[in-house]
Structure 1
Amino acid sequence: MTVDAKTELRRRTLSRRDLVTHDEAHAASLAVVERALALVRRFAPRAAETGEVVSVYWPIRSELNTRPLLEALAAAKIATVLPVMTAVKRPLTFRAFSPGDDLMKGPFGLSEPAETQPAFDPDIVFSPLAAFDRRGYRLGYGGGIYDATLSQLRAKNRIVAVGVAYACQETDAVPTEPHDQKLDFLLTELELIDFHG
């Protein structure tokens, strides 16, 4: 599939996402929390004691709101980090975050923890996306950042990659390239999809 086809797919799925109403968005943000926590408990059952780290994105534009999940993880005493963008097609770094911490605008306009916050590699990564399919592939925003990040993290350790999206962002087949990293799970307001099943 050409770059133009990817661009068109991204445009279509993001346009659908933009149509989610405020009430639907609020309900979806709450609906994903329990399934997300169940995944964390499954893959890091003693995270509060053993220090496994969970990365959750800070939502922008019409992304599914993960702030209730960040609050639930903090209440469960599970260490969380937010991604920090350094450059296009370069892996993210991850800095410690707790609800209530001040965020700063990073060089790419994203809300990020301060540079003084310690950096950690996450064990579980919840990532945003533009589109997904039932094979476990995600279409991002075109920068290749999460593919580079997952590749780097997987080279060092076993991680669990979880896409987070509205059900309306599903497509029949995401166009893939050799460098694309598959997700382990996909979480929507309606279901948890296990790509190992």
Structure 2
Amino acid sequence: MSLESTKFEKSQLRADALEDMRLIKPSEKLFYEKKLTEMSLSFLGSSQTIAGYYPINNELNILPLLQLLSSIGYQIALPCITEKKILDFRIWNMKKSLVKNRYKIYEPVDGILSIPEIVLVPGLLFDKSLHRLGYGGGFYDRTIQHFRQKDNTKFIGICYPAQIIPKLPRVEHDQKLDFLVNLDEI
């Protein structure tokens, strides 16, 4: 498959996934949000800092999970987009306000820079080979590649079960995750 046809296929998948996410029922959202906070946290190991995300476009709401993790002693960080178009992670005290960046994504402004041991990664679609399809900016791909060159950070995809498909089209720069949380298998 050519690069152009792969780009086109990804674009079509993004549009379809955004529409599918828009149609997720509120009861289904609540069901998976609750399931997320009830799952075993053993996959976190001895991590001290967990980076999450502030959900947009009907992404799985992980804020209750982040609140739980904060309450039991984990430091919580959120991504901030840098000039180099990779993500830095800043500690977020969940009581402090966030600001919208130029992409309309909330991020902390005054949190301390951190290198999290685990990053919970959003996306539009994921496949069983641990690849993800995001919004097309490449921020997580560049960030994963950057962190793998020097840190032992683990990147874990987190999504609704319907967002997991058998195989995604991919190109050379697409980065693989370390793990994918499938809430139907918990």
TM-score by length of 2: 0.91
Deviates more, 1:66-75 or 1:12-21: 12-21
Name the counterpart of 1:97.
92
Q: Is the contact made by 1:13 and 1:168 (CA closer than 8 Å) also made in structure 2? A: no
The answer to whether the aligner puts 1:28 opposite 2:32 as a matched pair is yes
Among 136, 141, 147, the alignment partner of 1:153 is 147
The 3-state SS of whatever aligns with 1:59 is coil
Alpha-carbon separation, structure 1, partners of 2:177 and 2:39: 16
Give aligned pairs, total.
Answer: 182
Alpha-carbon separation, structure 1, partners of 2:129 and 2:161: 15
The 3-state SS of whatever aligns with 1:152 is helix
The answer to whether the aligner puts 1:171 opposite 2:165 as a matched pair is yes
Among 100, 109, 119, the alignment partner of 2:104 is 109
Alpha-carbon separation, structure 2, partners of 1:14 and 1:187: 20
Name the counterpart of 2:20.
16
Q: Is the contact made by 1:81 and 1:96 (CA closer than 8 Å) also made in structure 2? A: yes
Q: Is the contact made by 1:81 and 1:97 (CA closer than 8 Å) also made in structure 2? A: yes
The 3-state SS of whatever aligns with 2:70 is helix
Among 132, 138, 143, the alignment partner of 1:138 is 132
Moved over 2 A (4+): 33-38
- CA distances 1:64-97 after superposition (whole Å, capped 9, x unpaired): 001111111111110110001235x721011111
Of all paired residues, the percent bearing the same amino acid is 34
Alpha-carbon separation, structure 2, partners of 1:37 and 1:112: 25
Alpha-carbon separation, structure 1, partners of 2:111 and 2:89: 9
> 2:103 corresponds to which letter in structure 1?
F
Among 7, 10, 28, the alignment partner of 1:6 is 10
Name the counterpart of 1:181.
175
Unmatched tracts of structure 1, length 5 or more: 193-197
TM-score by length of 1: 0.86
Alpha-carbon separation, structure 2, partners of 1:147 and 1:91: 8
Q: Is the contact made by 2:119 and 2:154 (CA closer than 8 Å) also made in structure 1? A: yes
Q: Is the contact made by 2:50 and 2:75 (CA closer than 8 Å) also made in structure 1? A: yes
Unmatched tracts of structure 2, length 5 or more: none
Give the Å deviation of 1:17: 1.7
Alpha-carbon separation, structure 1, partners of 2:90 and 2:49: 10
